[in-house]
Amino acid sequence: MAAFAGYLEKLDQKLHEKNKINEYFEKAEKATGVKRVYLALGLIGVWALYMVLGHGAELICNTIGFAYPAYVSLHALETNTKEDDTKWLTYWVTFAAFSLVEFFSDFIVGFIPFYWLLKCIFLVWCFAPIANNGSSFLYGRVLRPLFLKNRSAIDETLDKAASGVAGLARDAAGKYMAGKSE
C-alpha cells in the first residue's frame, strides 16, 4: 500500500507540472471539485476497461506504441545530443523485435485474456521516461547479448544475400539491355 501511495504522489506531482495536458486536468479539477490525480486514475480505469472490452483495442494499442515514440524520436533527431537518439533507437529495436515475435505467435493472441491491455502496458513500460525502462532492460538483457553472440553469422548471411541480389540485378540489367539492342 505504501508503494501505491508513492506512485500516486509521483503521478500527482507530474499532473501539476506546467504543460498543455495538465491545463485540461486543472480545468476539470476546478469544474468537478475532484482532485486531478483521481481524474487521471478514472481515465486510466476507463481506458483499461475499454482495452479489455472495446472494439478497436488493437488500433489504440498500436497507436499508443507508435505515435508518441515516433513524435519524440523526430524531436531527438533534431537535437545534437546522442543520448536521446540512443534511447529511441533502443525503443524501436525492442518494438521491432516484439512485433516480429508477435507476428509469429499471432494465433496465441486470441487465447491470452486482456492481450491488448497487456501489450499496451508493455509498450508504455518500454518507452517510459525512467532510467531502466522496458526497452533498456530488454535490450541489455536479451537483444544485445543475442546480437553480439550471432553478429558474425548475421553479417555473413547479409553479405551473401546482398551478393545474390546484386548478381540478380546485373543479370536482369544484362537481359534488359540485350533485349533493347535486338
57-72 tens-digit pLDDT: 989 999 999 999 999 9
Percent of the chain with pLDDT over 90: 62
pLDDT value for 122: 96
DSSP for residue 78: T
Q: What is the pLDDT of residue 182?
A: 66
What phi-psi label fits residue 114: left (phi over 0), alpha (psi between -120 and 50 degrees) or beta? left
| pLDDT for res 91 | 97
- pTM (two decimals): 0.76
Helix count and strand count (H, E) for the chain: 9, 0
Average pLDDT over residues 80-108: 92
Number of Cβ within 10 Å of residue 29's Cβ equals 17
pLDDT of 5 strictly over 70: yes
pLDDT attached to residue 105: 87
